[in-house]
Amino acid sequence: MAYNAPLKDMQFLLNEVFTAESMFSTMPATNEVTEDLMTAILEEAGKIAGKLLSPINQTGDKEGCSYRDGLVITPKGFREAYADYIEGGWSGLTGEPSYGGQGMPKVISALIEEMFFSANTSFCLYTVLTTGAALTINECASEKLKKIYLPKMYQGIWSGTMCLTESHAGTDLGMINTKAVPSEKDSYHISGTKIFITAGEHDLSENIVHLVLAKLPGAPAGPRGISLFLVPKILVNEDGSLGTRNNVVCGSIENKMGIKASATCVLHFQEATGFLIGELNNGLSNLFTMMNYERLSMGLQGNGLAESSYQIALEYASERLQGRAAKGPQLVDKEADPILVHPDVRRMLLTMKVNIIAGRALSLYSSFHLDISRLHPDEHVRERSKKLVSLLVPVQKAYCSDRGFEACVLGQQVLGGHGYAAEWGLEQNVRDARIAQIYEGANGIQALDLMGRKTVRTGGEQFNLLMKEMEEFLASQKDNIDMKPYLAKFFEVKLLLVETTKLVIEKSSNNPDEVGAASYPYMELMGLTLYCFMWQRIILSAIESKKRSTDTQDYYDGLIKNGRFFLDKLLPKSLSLGEEIKAGADSLMSVTADQF
């Protein structure tokens, strides 16, 4: 089934819920981004997703990448699609204009990424790594490195990766062994092996720019001793032309459950020439510039595959005839009714839909604050949004990818046996979505980061900023009769989140295990509360737009009903999450190792 970009839903969120144009007008870097420009960009991106990327999705999965003697060949059609992608200028969409980028905000690229992840996740992964690597170079590298590498990366002629972990280290990057030894001409010799490197080797671009974490001899132990280096696959001459091959070798590609057309590589750096990005021993901090963008992308991957699964499942449920409606036949001239009449099928489809819409809204909300944190002229406003981004990104990454995988499984269930067979594409979506919960920091790590570093250790400082945003919304609508039944449920779940936050902060002062024990249900509760916050804003905009509209009232009425389903059927899960958090760490940690 071909993917169709949900442009109407996206434009509703952009223009009516978040009033993007007015927000962009407050920042000099984005004040030329109009509603018409955003519409044109999204429409064109939708065509690329549906007509260029979607047709090679299943074939790419079936063929996969091939590896031979250090070289990686992407599936049939990928090279041609990539050539069209870079010819259209998409690689430099959010790039710095002074180096050839187009300067578009993350908010726009977030929606485009969702479309591309929906249509062809493996292909999209090659592109988002380049965007993130270019951002880090622009934010942290020397002027010399920027001038050499950014123009070609914005053109898509050169691509990018990030090389973090090693086989023994996992998420604990302080344990990495890759070494950097000072060499001539302000360069370093980089030696070590990195694993799980997405797009580490391929045949789409003429050069690959690796961002590599390594340690100098005598560097401080742990994360404080990590530096960040730019290591090109092919060295670049003084005049900007390509020179000799660097000592970077792809040792193998992973045989994976999903994203089979995306090359996940083992890379060996054998005294490869590298160049320092930023300050020595500050590499992890500098790389988090890229990491926040990539984590946001992983939430978008989950949401994109959920949208793809929803489209397949809805079409199937609308056409598949089986059984009769409980209130009597709906299609009297047929031997059965479409399965869409059955309450349980509706439960699955509506669960998928309301989480997709809320996840898309949360991704945009996070992206807006990411743009503000970088581009707003007021330093105080930038700093406030930076703190909110720090809190929001782990939730957006984990909660959206969890709900995304869940939606793919629900879509598969709607199709029954056909969902388990390959031809419909649902089983591929399930496989492709699973990795988003694991890479760029597994979701359990995101939850621990949220609960520990971002909440308990700060005494709730960032959390209080988010609560203030919610409180301001509640205050602005206190006299709105139309919103009264919806606001009451939002107030209740917000209150529960505040109470559990205070409880964990208090209990953790005497027992540090309380942080880890509460972290995952706390992330789920915050994600559910944020989805509720997004639905409040969506319902409000739909009510207002419905009053003004004459020909699209049914669309807005549908959104209001979708919001009611979320509040009635999904939000009550907050109560069980609250109880799980309040139960504390004892029952979890009292079990000894030999009792497992």
Contact 417, 315 (CB under 8 A): no
- What pLDDT score was predicted for residue 300? 98
Give CA–CA dist 134/94, Å, rounded.
Answer: 10
Q: How many domains is the chain partitioned into structurally?
A: 1
Per the structure, the complete domain to which residue 561 belongs is given by: 459-590
- What pLDDT score was predicted for residue 285? 87
User: Is residue 77 domain-resident?
Assistant: no
Strand pairing of 207-215 and 158-163? parallel
User: Is residue 450 domain-resident?
Assistant: no
User: Is residue 541 domain-resident?
Assistant: yes
Give helix 106-119 / helix 343-375 axis angle, nearest 10°. Answer: 140
Give helix 573-582 / helix 513-548 axis angle, nearest 10°. Answer: 160
- What pLDDT score was predicted for residue 465? 98
User: Is residue 468 domain-resident?
Assistant: yes
User: Is residue 187 domain-resident?
Assistant: no
- What pLDDT score was predicted for residue 305? 98
Give CA–CA dist 164/91, Å, rounded.
Answer: 23
Q: Does the annotation mark 143 as catalytic?
A: no
Nearest to 7 by CA among 42, 34, 33, 38: 42
Q: What is the pLDDT along the chain (596 residues), one digit of tens a residue?
A: 789 999 999 999 999 999 999 999 999 999 999 999 999 999 999 999 999 999 999 999 999 999 999 999 999 999 999 999 999 999 999 999 999 999 999 999 999 999 999 999 999 999 999 999 999 999 999 999 999 999 999 999 999 999 999 999 877 788 899 999 999 878 999 999 999 999 999 999 999 999 999 999 999 998 899 999 999 999 999 899 999 999 999 999 999 999 999 999 999 999 999 999 999 999 988 887 777 888 999 999 999 999 999 999 999 999 999 999 999 999 999 999 999 999 999 999 999 999 999 999 999 999 999 999 999 999 999 999 999 999 999 999 999 999 999 999 999 999 999 999 999 999 999 999 999 999 989 999 999 999 999 999 999 999 999 999 999 999 999 999 999 999 999 999 999 999 999 999 999 999 999 999 999 999 999 999 999 999 999 999 999 999 887 788 999 999 999 999 999 999 999 999 999 999 999 999 999 999 99
User: Is residue 188 domain-resident?
Assistant: no
Contact 283, 277 (CB under 8 A): yes
- What pLDDT score was predicted for residue 318? 97
Nearest to 284 by CA among 190, 188, 213: 213
User: Is residue 429 domain-resident?
Assistant: no
Catalytic site residue from 294, 440, 514, 524: 440
User: Is residue 15 domain-resident?
Assistant: no
Other CB atoms within 10 Å distance of the CB of residue 68: 7
